[in-house]
Amino acid sequence: MLASRNIIKRTGFTLKRSNAKFNIINSSFTSTKRYILTDASLINKNRFFEELNVINESLNGTLRVIKMNPSKGNDNLFLTTENLDLLHENLTTFLTSPVCECVIVNSVVEGETFSSGINPQELKNLVSLDQENRVRESIQFLKYPYKIASDLLNAKKPVVFVYNGKSESTINSLGNLASLKISTEYAQWSMNQLQNGLLPDLATTAILPKLTTVGGTNGQLGIYLLMTGDTLSGEDAYLSGISTHYIPYDAVDDAILRLSDCNFYKNKAYLKLEALTLNTEILNKNTKRGVVNSDAIDFLKKENYKIYNRIALEQYSSALEEFAQPVNSINRNYKYKYSKEALQVIEYGFDILNTENLNNDLVYKDIINRLSKIVAYNGGSEFNIEWNAAHKQFARETLDKLANVSDALLQIATRMIVHNSQSTDFKQVLANDQLLSAEFISNNTLLNNINNKNDEIVPGEKIMSLLKVTGNKKQNFGSAEISGFNKNMLELGLIKESELKKLLKKDGFKKLSSKDQLLERIEHLTHYGGKTSNHRYLKSLVFDRCLNQNNGNLTWKTIVEKKSTVAATPIEPVNNSDDLPAEPKIDTELDLEATLEQFEKKNDEQK
């Protein structure tokens, strides 16, 4: 790497301990220095060994970089309460700073561990604590991850997560909420909470199925990744929709520096001038006797905010796209982790988001039965697809992975997925997940199951009561609302199968007669990033598997079970009466303190 590329102007931040907390001293009180970074210093594992688990730096005045640091006693970079506190404090400071325009979350040691998430053993140790200490420690586990998630969900400026090493569970749940995600060839991404005996909380069950690109139009790949804990490479993560950009490791520093040229706040001022004429016209029409209709003012504020956010986010995404490369740019023999047959198994086996499952407490058994049907298939006409040896092998491997998770956790996780798919507000999902987590860490049976699979345990009535769905109609999957900069993040990166299926029904797409015509039309849709890999991705993973050419028109292929020859787990029909069980009332605003007070009160009563 050339030295000229590595001369970075950085403003140091000083961390001081005050009142048992770390406070960030404003950068205006520190001196500006120039540093020369070399490859040797970047990969030196002991570079910041004496420092805190979370450190930060400033780049070119407008960018703030938060780095996860594997310091003493925490080589795996577990998210302890101490570094969660630091991560939250850094993130909150930068998101509210009038100077900072973009926040980057990265690792100190590129290519090594980014974070292993929450340490399962620390949660399990809660069982052995006395009541007072257990309540105090439990509150810490409930407090900081949800505060960080709330900050990310409500961010009013872009947050970029860089997957440049091993990352697991909780840190990836938080990364799902970031506006932009970069993966490199060193990334090893996994959502392995269930395999460790933990819940996939922090709105993961709602967001991940909406992020994934292939494997079905109902988020089946996201559900599969949640249930199996599979590890994805940086290339796989990009093609799967986990990251919005694939950028080789050597170009990441330059890509991050490029973001400082976006000047969002300057562009925002320019956009205000552009919108002035239109806004004035609307206000004039809604003014009577010199008084402006308040509804018109609120409407303009919301609409202008949406426009600013969308344009700015696309600008940052385009800046990163300048450094993006095709997924086979480093490894010319790269192949996607999941074959066509594997994706077909995932599409059929994990298609659980339907009305029949809204209040089915045994959704996970539906998945197991579907996979078992593939394994037992001996030909016939019950499916519109012939399950071959490759299909059966992948189905067997998936069943083996599910067998490593206790039935109780599979039951809770699938109920969370179905329940949260109905929500139209991620804030409400986050609030509900926090209540579930409070119940989870209060349950000794579930805590003792951590790293010790036990199929005899049951979820508990309280947890299952929080996962009841009222009503009997499936809402539009993918309709959840996101505020701030994350409002448009679901449209970044590669086009999703669900979006492609909708496009085929729109004017301009209905009469396309070939896959090449469709590919050319999609490439001209500017709001889809990831153009560097679109051709390869669409042709190899989507078109051949999902599209039929009938009578000169393109139609969508769906795996259909015509009739059943293998007994399936009975699915209870949704109650159509008016006496549906009442869903727990949850404030859509994430009230962390209220939840923690409720948790403390409950434990005081038990004491």
User: What is residue 574's predicted lDDT score, i.e. its pLDDT?
Assistant: 31
Closest of 54, 55, 116, 52 to residue 84, by C-alpha: 54
Q: Which of 556, 580, 601 is the last residue of a domain?
A: 556
Which of 108-112, 363-367, 405-409 is least confident? 108-112
Instruction: Decide if pLDDT at 367 tops 90.
Output: yes
Cβ contact 335:508 at 8 Å:
no
Which of 141-150, 433-442, 455-464, 580-589 is least confident? 580-589
Q: Structural domain tally of the chain? A: 2
Q: Is residue 122 part of a domain?
A: no
Cβ contact 96:155 at 8 Å:
no
Q: Which of 321, 347, 367 is the last residue of a domain?
A: 321
Closest of 221, 122, 226 to residue 169, by C-alpha: 226
d(CA 500, CA 251): 31
Instruction: Decide if pLDDT at 522 tops 90.
Output: no
Q: Buried b / exposed e across 373-395, counting CB within 10 Å, b at 16+?
A: bbbebeeeeebebebeeebbebb
CA distances in angstroms from 267 to 98, 250, 257, 478, listed in the order given: 15, 29, 18, 30
d(CA 185, CA 182): 10
Cβ contact 483:425 at 8 Å:
no
CA distances in angstroms from 527 to 8, 451, 455, listed in the order given: 31, 43, 47
Which of 124-133, 165-174, 221-230, 553-562 is least confident? 553-562
d(CA 220, CA 354): 12
- Residue 133 has which token pair? 């200490």
Cα 41-94-256 angle, rounded to 5 deg: 45
Q: Is residue 116 part of a domain?
A: no
Q: Is residue 590 part of a domain?
A: no
Cβ contact 472:358 at 8 Å:
yes
Instruction: Decide if pLDDT at 581 tops 60.
Output: no
Higher pLDDT, 266 or 365: 365
Q: Buried b / exposed e across 568-599, counting CB within 10 Å, b at 16+?
A: eeebeebeeeeeeeebeebeeebebeebbeeb
User: What is residue 183's predicted lDDT score, i.e. its pLDDT?
Assistant: 95
Q: Is residue 306 part of a domain?
A: yes
Given pLDDT bands bounded at 50, 70 and 90, which one contains residue 604?
low
Instruction: Decide if pLDDT at 582 tops 70.
Output: no
pTM of the model: 0.81
Mean pLDDT of 210-224: 93
d(CA 535, CA 515): 11
Q: Is residue 594 part of a domain?
A: no
User: What is residue 402's predicted lDDT score, i.e. its pLDDT?
Assistant: 96
Radius of gyration of the chain (CA): 25
Instruction: Summarize pLDDT for 369-406 with one digit per residue, the tens.
Output: 999 999 999 988 889 899 999 999 999 999 999 999 99
Cβ contact 198:168 at 8 Å:
no
Most confident of 63-67, 225-229, 498-502: 225-229
User: What is residue 176's predicted lDDT score, i.e. its pLDDT?
Assistant: 93
Mean pLDDT of 513-529: 68
Higher pLDDT, 523 or 543: 543
Instruction: Summarize pLDDT for 26-66 with one digit per residue, the tens.
Output: 222 222 332 333 333 333 334 444 456 677 777 777 888 98
User: What is residue 464's predicted lDDT score, i.e. its pLDDT?
Assistant: 85
Instruction: Decide if pLDDT at 293 tops 50.
Output: yes
Summary mean pLDDT of the chain? 76
User: What is residue 71's predicted lDDT score, i.e. its pLDDT?
Assistant: 62
Mean pLDDT of 284-288: 68
Which of 193-202, 280-289, 483-492 is least confident? 483-492
Q: Is residue 392 part of a domain?
A: no
Burial class (CB in 10 A: 0-12, 13-18, 19+), 400: exposed
Q: Buried b / exposed e across 11-35, counting CB within 10 Å, b at 16+?
A: bebebeeeeeebebeebeeeeeeee
Cβ contact 339:514 at 8 Å:
no
User: What is residue 279's predicted lDDT score, i.e. its pLDDT?
Assistant: 63
Mean pLDDT of 438-445: 90
Mean pLDDT of 174-201: 93
Antiparallel, parallel or unpaired: β 21-24 and 180-183 = unpaired
Mean pLDDT of 564-580: 36
Amino acid at 295: D
Q: Is residue 563 part of a domain?
A: no
User: What is residue 238's predicted lDDT score, i.e. its pLDDT?
Assistant: 93
User: What is residue 586's predicted lDDT score, i.e. its pLDDT?
Assistant: 38
User: What is residue 347's predicted lDDT score, i.e. its pLDDT?
Assistant: 95
Q: Which of 321, 341, 365 is the last residue of a domain?
A: 321
Instruction: Summarize pLDDT for 524-541 with one digit per residue, the tens.
Output: 664 444 455 666 777 778
Most confident of 170-179, 276-285, 302-311: 170-179
Closest of 327, 374, 326 to residue 346, by C-alpha: 374
Which of 168-182, 193-207, 448-462 is least confident? 448-462
d(CA 153, CA 147): 10
Q: Is residue 127 part of a domain?
A: no
Mean pLDDT of 417-440: 87
Domain that holds residue 308: 260-321
Higher pLDDT, 240 or 56: 240
Sorted by sequence, the CB contacts under 8 Å of residue 93 that are 6+ apart come out as 24
